[in-house]
Structure 1
Amino acid sequence: VSLNEGVAQAASIYVAFMREVGTIHAGFDSAEAIQAAIRKGASYEPAQLSRGMIAYGSILALQSPEFVQGVRTFAVDPAQRQQMIARILADPAAAATFPGADAAAGLIVDTIGKDSAAMLLIANAVEEDAYTIQGRSDPRRRWATVHIADRVTRLESAKSLSAVTMLPSAEESARLFAAANSGTGLGVSPAHSGPPYTAAVVRSLAIAALAALGAGGEEGRANTEALTVEQNSEFCLNMSKLMLFQCLAASRPSYEDMFCVGRHVARDLATCTAQNITPIPPEIPQTAVAGGAPEQTPVAAEAAAASTAATASLNNGG
């Protein structure tokens, strides 16, 4: 097995960010605590986070001995090995046909699914607290209903943080690199997930298959990097950013900012991660955002619809 450090570094960006954003909790005790949560939640560049998620998926797949051994059976004969490498590069979905693919996909779906579920819990709690804090019996109401002093600066700050290049965590990169090349160390439990697979899961499997064939090392870095790019995944996170900015632009008191954190940081992260591992349902509504949208955008439409009257609905609910 051979996987280059670039994949581990990309994966570390996703793992470290999700751990950090997972420290956001409801029950904010000051207006500044809400602003800190906005800064924390906005501190990701969508394309990097998307690529990191797919890179992480490939390392999870390499924790499946069934998949690695299944792929390795095609590496014995040099000609067949080259044929398989070429086939994966021409069509990443070929990786999903290897023996053990369901075991590798199961690890991806289960682990990323837990990340998504954790974000959903945070979203529900923070959004609920945005209503609770408006109650006359809540002592926090005093500061939560006051209009934010410098709304423009905090919006520009969120936009700036969204454009900053995310740096890999050296410690996390080393841990993931070792796990990728040894097949152990992430403490994952066996799980199985059959087809159909999303494009993101397919790409994770393709990177892992190249690694198992010995074609994912430094000499294959261009191929593994290309495989981490998935249009729908990046679109979902980009849409989330636009909705966050729209929400912050419309928000005035702190409790509305709290709602923005719950809806367009935590809930959108939950939805975008879930989209990457869940086959697309039928009847996807058309998004209202013009230009550049892939055909399949299960979450973008929901996010756009939710944001159109987010602040108004919050006020009505309060």
Structure 2
Amino acid sequence: MSSSRADIHDNIGWADARPVVSVLIPFLRDDPEPLLRQLDTEAAALAGRVELVLLDDGTGDAALTARLKAVIDALALPARLVTLSDNEGRARGRNRLTIAARGHAWLFLDSDMKPDDPRFLQIWVDLAGRDNPAVAFGGFSLKQAPRDRRFAVHRALSGASECVRAAQRARTPEKYVYTSNLLVRRDVFGFESFDPGFTGWGWEDVEWAMRVSRRFAVVHIDNPATHMGLDTVTDLARKFDQGAANFARVVALHPQIVQTYPSYKAARALKRLPALPMARRLMKDAALSPLLPTRVRAFALRMYRAAVYADAI
């Protein structure tokens, strides 16, 4: 664990709570207030079975911290806010969240998600009590996502590769595991935590699932939440650049699994191109071009990602 200082703020319901499920919400420069208020609408029906644990991973915004403390104090759900002085990263931050969690099961939920079902938390609590799964993923949707034209390419990408029903996800269960809507039983995390060797953006949750799936069953259900934080093409390209080293790490750790993925096959094929740097620039330019149809731009961006990964493997 890093030397980052942590300020801890609990609301009045925290001390005496005996939760079944702990909802773990990391954020960095995002505002989780809308998510908190929506989750709190279920408080009466949950009857103390859920707590919220938030981690500000080094945003450094005193005004945001003060406002969130006031929001948390007004919640009916028991809640804790942990505010770090420095950024620890996605893997370390999520590992730190689990230290404060007291439930039998933990629901990792990103701060830019918006549950689609008004009984979202109740469905998770019922599943934890009834089936006690080791790992369960609830799924993504775009049901409530913004329809701004600048996010059209991300909508197309996400709709094709991430927003799939449980039956399809279950065919390759370790591949469709994201910490944006993920239930994990406490004892499972005792065997496998997130690898702090992953830094920057992406792949730390999929790699964790690869390890976990060797010991435990990974279950998929349809209890989706909308990913509200869609990105522009420029932002997505930057994230793909940042994620290249993480992809290479996954390939090194789990070659037999990753070699079956289309992203790996595409990267290997592109690696043989003698003019890969030029091709990568052309792919990015095509993805950025507002003159091209959205489906063409989305394909170009997928190819750009594969070209970036090709340099890393």
| Structure with greater strand percent | 2
Q: Same fold (TM over 0.5)?
A: no
> Which structure's relative contact order is higher, taking Cα pairs within 8 Å and 6+ residues apart?
1
TM-score, normalised to structure 2's length?
0.26
| Structure with greater helix percent | 1
